[in-house]
Amino acid sequence: MVITSETPVRDIAVAMPTAIPMLERIGIDYCCHGQHTLTEACARKDIALAPILEELEKLQPQSTGSEESRWAHAPLKELSEHIVKRHHAYTREHLKLIDTLMAKVEQRHGAEHPEVFQLGKALAVFGTELKHHTECEETNLFPYIAAIGTDQLQELPAPAKGSLKMPISHMMADHDQAGEDLQTLRKLTNNYTPPPEACPTWRGLYSAIEELEADLHQHIHLENNILFPRAIKQAEGEVQKTSAH
């Protein structure tokens, strides 16, 4: 892949997964706002473009058989199941861990640091929204996507009425909100930097939130940039086949 300053960041992440760790390191959003060109993304982060292009040129694309690269071509059912088993399960378990750690930090340090209660409220809302989002995908959207091109395809619940673009747009809006929520969490935690007097539990809490953020970036990238566009394209192809007959 030839990468230029006008290449959308999501295209870089899809075609060259080896670039993802670098994008994470410099804070460029390749999932929720992956439609931005490399120039735009660097400008948003006030990062010089030329060194980034040079670093990308040095990265070698992964082989087509690698774990990350194959999702661009794997069956939609296999990809959606991977997202559920790898990322949805991770999200639920990590949210439980974060809830436990947050409760301990509030109990032990809330009197001296009342700001931790603001973080606790933000995490509670964030976790509730994330769990509802994954349940919606697993109950309605993913089964529909997995069945595209088979005789098991069922009608999507109202108000979608067979239109895949509507529920996908709702899920992507949720992803955008999750991205904003993560920015809020970063501000509340000073970029996940605990105060000098923080105990191991407090430090562990910040590490757990940061780990969840990193996984959500990959999670949302797989959905926004690979699963959803491929599902829409395949669904439109099935409609054209039906019309031709």
- For the stretch 215-237, pLDDT in tens is 999 999 999 999 999 999 998 88
H-helix or E-strand containing 211?
helix 200-221
Identify whether residues 10 and 57 lie together within a single domain.
yes
Number of domains in the chain: 2
The predicted pLDDT at position 69 comes to 72
Mean of the per-residue pLDDT values of the chain: 89
Specify whether 78 is located in the same domain as 185: yes
Residues 64, 121, single domain; the answer is: no
Contact 13, 225 (CB under 8 A): yes
Single residue among 46, 72, 98 that ends a domain in this structure = 72
Orientation of helix 115-136 relative to helix 165-188, angle to 10°: 160
The residue range of the domain holding 125 is 74-244
**pLDDT score at 155:** 63
- Find the mean pLDDT for residues 5-24: 90
Same domain, 67 and 85: no
Q: Which of 72, 92, 112 is the last residue of a domain?
A: 72
Same domain, 98 and 132: yes
Mean pLDDT of 73-88: 95
In terms of domains, do 163 and 221 share one? yes
Among candidate residues 12, 41, 72, the one where a domain is terminated: 72
Residue 34 banded pLDDT, cuts 50, 70, 90? confident
Per-residue pLDDT band at 18 (split at 50, 70, 90): confident
Cis peptide before 157 (omega within 30 of 0): no
Distance CA(243)–CA(245), nearest Å, equals 5
